[in-house]
Structure formats: C-alpha cells, structure tokens
Amino acid sequence: MDKYLGQKSAVHYLHPPVDPFDQRMIDVGDGHTVYMEQSGNPQGMPVVVLHGGPGGGCSPAMRRYFDPKVFRVILFDQRGCGRSRPHASVRDNTTWHLVRDIELIRTHLAIDQWIVFGGSWGATLGLIYAQAHPERVSGLVLRGVFLATKAELDWFYGGGAGKFWPETWARFVDLIPENEHDDLIAAYNKRLFSGDLMVETKYARAWSSWENALASFHSNGVGGESPSEYARAFARLENHYFTNGAFLKYDGQILDQLDRIAHIPGAIVQGRYDMICPPQAAWKLAAGWPNVELHMVRNAGHALSEPGISAELVRVMDRIAEG
C-alpha cells in the first residue's frame, strides 16, 4: 500500500536517499526465496524494517527514516511479495513462517539484538515477533497499529469505515453479489483464488483500491489503479492472512501477551484520523505497555507517506540515534 501512495509531501522530513551496500536473495525454505538488503552503516545500530500489507513489499523511501551514519538498516520483502519468489504465493506463508524468516535473517547477518520498526501489518508482525523472541529486540518503533483482531477486520471490511466513505465502499461492495455481503473477506477470497488470472487481477485491484483510497488524511476517496502484479500479491496475501485471523491462536492474543515485551522500550506513532487502523488499537496497546511512548499525530491518517507521520517517525529514530 505505502509503496504506491507517493512520498513527495513527506520528503522534506526524511534523510537523503541512500543506496544499499548489500542486496541478496535468501533461501528461507518451503520453496520460498526472500529479497533482503542492507543500507547505512555496516557497523551501525541494527534496525529491521517490517513492511505493511501483508503483501506490500518494501521501497527505497523506507531507508530514509534512519540516519545512515548511525543505523544499519535491514529491509526485506516478506514471502510472496515484492522481489521475493514465488510471487503472490500463499503456500507455506503464515505469520509464523515470517517470524522464522526474521530470525533466519538475524542469524544470517550475525546480529544479536536489533530495533524492530514496522507500520500497519508491519506493526502487527513486529509485536508478534517481539513476543516470540523478546531477547532479540532492543526496541520497537510502530506506526498505524493493527492488532489483527476480529473487531478491526469488521470495522474495515464490515462497513464501519464505509460509513465515512459510502461512495468508495459502494465500489468495493458492488462487485460482490448481495447474498455474499455478510462476509466480504470470504467473498473476495473466492475470487482472488479462483485460478483465473483475469478474475484474480480484477478483484485484487478492487481490494487494493479500497484500502489505498482510505490511507491518506487528504484522500478524495479514489484509490487509483495499482500495477496488476503488485495488486494481485497484495490482495491475495492480505486476504489469506485476514481469512485466517493472522494465524494467531486466539482473538486478542497480542494484547493478552504484552507482559512478554513489558521491558522493551517502544514508541507508537499513530494518525488521529487513521481510517484503516483506528487509534483505539494504539491507545489500548500503550495502556498495557508500561515502557512505551504514544505519539498521536493530529491531521494524519494511516499512510507512511503522511507528512506528520514521517516527521514524527524520523524524530523518534533521531532521538534513538542520539542515545
């Protein structure tokens, strides 16, 4: 999602562009190879960046939230998206496979501890990873918090957000027969995994467009057309994860296991008017995590490319850089 929203308005706040000093494909098993890159200072403070989606992939702009003299920045495309292969594949693609991949990358790079930086689904994955491997996380910086609960999915795919954007919601819903409107995630799942590439691409673009349309505070309600290959991976992976409740053991698991990360310092950057991941999740997370700072950004929505969000994330990372 963030990859195609454009970063022009946020560029003023970011560090200068930087090229990777290391790019490689890593065989993570199960027939998957994952794209990974490193930029910044090879001897610097390591930070792993977890992109959104699932299925969003990483972009060059994501390197620019970190002072390249201070940080060793590790980006990777999660299974099935971006430059990782096989593309748009959901086979052996679950939250727990991704947690294992993060650990594999960490050991591959001989890193003992790192900062975990993630937004939207990347925040979800970062929290789950930290709860599974708290000894490996020196800090968490999260944006646009999503806790993968049924209530959050009901908000976005059950008509809650649609009450604010009825015309945009209608475009998303009207592609589905009325007798399937009670479960739009399931209805789209049937079509995204139909085996017909044209059908899958049509519904993938509609799925992606609904989310893109609501990402920015200044949205006009039109999501635009994502490139078909990107949209198909994004929609299929996201729908697969949401159909399966992010592969968590039970609803509300992340908040229930906050004691595992209570000692880890954290920062949450949340848009006050985030239509995709409403602020209540960030507030609940901060209320149960004694070692976190919540930065609520006024006049901001969900996207990483929002100027207020970008400015606050850079400020947080610059403060960490200063020690």
| Residues annotated catalytic, as ranges | 120, 274, 302
Structure tokens at 116: 């975990």
For the purposes of burial, counting CB atoms within 10 Å of the CB of 159, is it exposed (0-12), middle (13-18) or buried (19 or more)? Answer: middle
CA 305/CA 128 separation, integer angstroms: 24
CA distance 102 to 115: 12
Contacts of 160 (CB under 8 A, 6+ apart): 154
Nearest to 245 by CA among 180, 158, 149, 310: 149
Q: Are 39 and 70 in contact (CB under 8 A)?
A: no
Alpha carbon distances (Å) from 305 to 2, 118, 130, 196, 228: 7, 14, 25, 34, 22
b/e burial code for range 23-33 (CB count within 10 A of at least 16 → b): eeebebeeebb
Nearest-angstrom CA–CA distance, 116 and 114: 6
